[in-house]
Amino acid sequence: MPTLYRTQSLVFALATTLAYPALAQDDLFDASLEDLLATEVVGVSKTKQLISEAPANVTVITAEDIARYGYQTVAEAISRLPGVAITRDNTYSYGGVRGMTSDAANYNSRFLLMINGHRINDGLYDQALVGHESIIDIHAIDRIEFIKGPGAIMYGGNALYGVINILTRSGRQIDGTELRMAAASNEGYSVSQISGGETDSGLQWTAQVSHTEESKHDESNLYGDYSARGRHTKAMGQLNGDNFNITMMLAEHQLQNSEVWTYQGDYYVSDIPETTRQLMLGGEYIWKIGHKTHITALGNISRFHDDFSRYDFGELWYRDVSNSDWISGELRLGSEAIEGQRWTMGIEWRRDLPLDNKYWYEPLENPTDVYFLDVDRTSVGGYIQGEFSLATDWMVVAGGRIDKIEYFDAEFSPRLSVIWTPTVSSTLKLIHSEAFRTPSAIEFGYGAEANYFGEKLTPEHMKSQELIYEYRQGALLTSVAIYHNQLEDGIGENIDAGYINTSTLTSQGIELAFNYRHNSGLGGYANYSYQDTSSKDNTPVMNSPENLIKVGIDGSWFENRLTSALEWQYTSEREVASESPKADAYHLVNLYMTMRPWNKGPELSFKAINVMDDDYGVSAYSFEFPGRSRELWFGITQVW
C-alpha cells in the first residue's frame, strides 16, 4: 500500500506541474478536429483510409509519441495500449492481448509484424520480435499501426491477436543526420545513427545503424543465481521514389545468459548463449491507372539464423542450429472507380525453402548422433474486400480470403463490418472477423517427432465480435470497445507430449480509452481494460490479468527546450506458474525527460524505468520470472 500512495503522489505532482502551462490557455479543448478526423491508416485494408472508416480497432503511435515518452522498443510503445500486456523474460519480449497471452512457448506467433508492407515473422518460429531483439531500430519508425483482433482477410496466417504494421521514416522526413548515445545503470549502453535526404530528382534515401548493450539483469532464487543480457546490432537502408520503395534490413542479436546452480550437492555453471541473425530485402512498385485505380506489386527475400547452446549434465553442450529462408510476393488491385465503393483484391505467394535445422550434443563422438528437421512448404492466398457507402453516414465493409498452405486444408477467413457516423465527431463500428495460424516449422517438425500421443497438430482459429464507439472533440479522442473472442485449437507445449492442440479459450471484456493532445504541448492518455478469460477445460490461463490501467501525461516548455513524460501502468494479480499461487498485482512508473540548453546544441535526456523499483513476477514457459528492476538511462542526441 505505501508503494501505491507513493506512486499516486508522484503522478499527481507531475500531472499538476505539466498541466499548468496548458491551463493558462484560453480553451483546453482548442485543437484541430480536422487533424484528428484526417488521421489515415494503411494497414487495415492495405490502402489509405480515414481511421474512422477503417473496419477494425486500430491505434496509431507516431514518431512524436515515441520521442515524447522515450520508448526504446516496439514492445515498450505498444505496452501503453488498452488490453495489451507485455512480458519480458530477460531474453525476449512477448505480447498478449485481451487476456490471451504469448510467452516463450509460442514465440509471439499470434501477432503479425509488418514493415513497409513486408511480413517479418520468421520461417522457423513464426515469431514477431518486438523487443530489443526486433529487426528494426525504434528511431527508424515513422508510425506504428496496431490493428487489434483477427486480420487474416488481408494477411493470412498469424494475425490472430492483431497486426503490428510499421512504416519507416523517409529521407525527406529525416533530412540530415541524427546521432544518439546513451549509457545505463547495470553496464548498459546504446549508439544509434540515422541519416536521410532527398536528391534533386526526388529520390529519397535512408541509412541507419545501431548497437545496444542491454543492462545486465541478475537474480537469485532457491535453485541458484541467474544473469542475462543481450547485444543487438541493426542496420537499415531504404530508397523511396514516387511509385516504388526498396527496404533492406539486417540484425544480429547475441544473448548472454548464465546460471549457477546446485544438484545433489554439486555446483554447475550453465552458459546459455544464443545468436540470431535476420535479413529482409523487399521492394514495392505501384502502377497508377487513372486517378482512382492502382496495382501494387511487392516481393521480398528473407533469412533467419538461430544458434542456440546450453550446458547439460556430463560436460556436454546441447547445440541447435537452424537456417530458414523464404521468398514471397504479392499482386494487389485497389480501386475507387465505382462511386461510393472501394475494392481491394489480391493474391499472395510464399515459398519456405527446406529448413536447415540440426541439433546434437558436443563433443560429438558419432556423426549419426546429429538430428535433422527438414520442413518446407508453399503457401498461396487470395482475398477480396469491398467497402460500400450506403448513405452519407452508413458504410458496410465485407470480404473474405482463402489460403492453402502445404500439409493443411484450405482456410477461409471472413470479415464483416458495419460503420455508422451519426455526427462528424462520433463513429460506431460493429465488426466480425476471423483468423487462423498453421503450426510453425518448429512446432510442425518437433511436434511430429516429440508428440508421443501420436496426435497431428491442426491450425489455430480465432473468432472475434466487437462493438466500438469513438468520439472526437477538439483535443480529445475517447473510445469504448466491447468484445468477445474465441481461440480454438490453440497450440501449446506439453512436457510429456511435445506440441499439442489445447482447449478452447474464451475472452470477453471492455476497454475504455482517453487521449488528449493540446496545441500548447500538453498531452496524455489513460485507458482501462477489463478482460475475463477462461479455458473450456478449466485449466488456469497463464499471465492473464483481469484488470489493466495505464496513464501517461507529458508536456513541454520554453519552445520544446524542456519536456517531461510520466507513465503509470497497473497490472492486477494473475496466474504465472502451474500449481503456484497467483502473482501479486504491481505498478510500474516510467519517467522520461529531455533538455536542450542551446539553440543548435545537443539534446540531453534521462529515462527511468520502474522508478519505484517494484518487485513483480512474469510468466515464461509456465515458470515465474522476476520482472526487471529499476533502470536509469542518460542520453545525448545531436542533429545536423
Give 329-345 pLDDT, tens digit per residue: 999 999 999 999 999 99
Summary mean pLDDT of the chain: 86
Q: How far apart are CA 606 and CA 633, in angstroms?
A: 6
| pLDDT band, residue 9 (cuts 50/70/90) | very low
Residues 24 and 518 sit within 8 Å (Cβ to Cβ): no
pLDDT at 586: 92
pLDDT at 26: 43
The candidate with the shortest Cα–Cα distance to 413, out of 463, 458, 377, 459, is 463
pLDDT at 261: 57
Higher pLDDT, 29 or 227: 227
Cell output for 210: 545501431
Higher pLDDT, 141 or 598: 141
Higher pLDDT, 463 or 101: 463
What mean pLDDT is predicted for residues 244-250? 97
pLDDT in tens, 448-483: 554 444 567 889 999 999 999 999 887 889 999 999
Report the DSSP beta bridge partners of residue 437: 460
CA distances from 76 to 73, 111, 131, 402 (A): 5, 16, 8, 34
pLDDT in tens, 257-284: 666 655 555 555 566 778 999 999 999 9
pLDDT at 259: 64
What mean pLDDT is predicted for residues 316-322? 78
Max CA pair span of the chain: 80
Domain ranges of the chain: 2-639
Checking if the pLDDT of 158 tops 80, the result is yes
3-state secondary structure of 439: coil
Place of cell 556430463: 314
CA-CA-CA-CA torsion sign (572, 575, 577, 582) = positive
**Residue 574: DSSP 8-state:** B
What mean pLDDT is predicted for residues 579-601? 89
Checking if the pLDDT of 484 tops 60, the result is yes
Rounded to two decimals, what is the model's pTM? 0.90
Checking if the pLDDT of 570 tops 90, the result is yes
Q: How far apart are CA 182 and CA 194, in angstroms?
A: 15
pLDDT in tens, 357-370: 887 777 666 655 56
Higher pLDDT, 449 or 147: 147
For the ranges 113-122, 441-450, 516-525, 623-632, the maximum mean pLDDT occurs at: 113-122
Q: How far apart are CA 635 and CA 245, in angstroms?
A: 32
Cell output for 349: 505467394
Query: Whole-angstrom distance between the N-terminal and C-terminal Cα of the chain?
Result: 48
The candidate with the shortest Cα–Cα distance to 386, out of 431, 335, 330, 434, is 335
pLDDT at 320: 84
Cell output for 33: 478536429
Q: How far apart are CA 465 and CA 416, in angstroms?
A: 10
pLDDT at 40: 85
Sorted by sequence, the CB contacts under 8 Å of residue 368 that are 6+ apart come out as none
What mean pLDDT is predicted for residues 46-74? 93
pLDDT at 64: 93
What mean pLDDT is predicted for residues 40-49? 89
3-state secondary structure of 21: helix
- Poorest-pLDDT segment among 91-105, 396-410, 418-432, 504-518: 91-105
The candidate with the shortest Cα–Cα distance to 238, out of 385, 112, 117, is 117
Fold of 2-639: Maltoporin; Chain A (2.40.170)
The candidate with the shortest Cα–Cα distance to 511, out of 482, 549, 544, is 482
**Residue 546: DSSP 8-state:** S
Q: How far apart are CA 427 and CA 397, in angstroms?
A: 15
| pLDDT band, residue 219 (cuts 50/70/90) | low
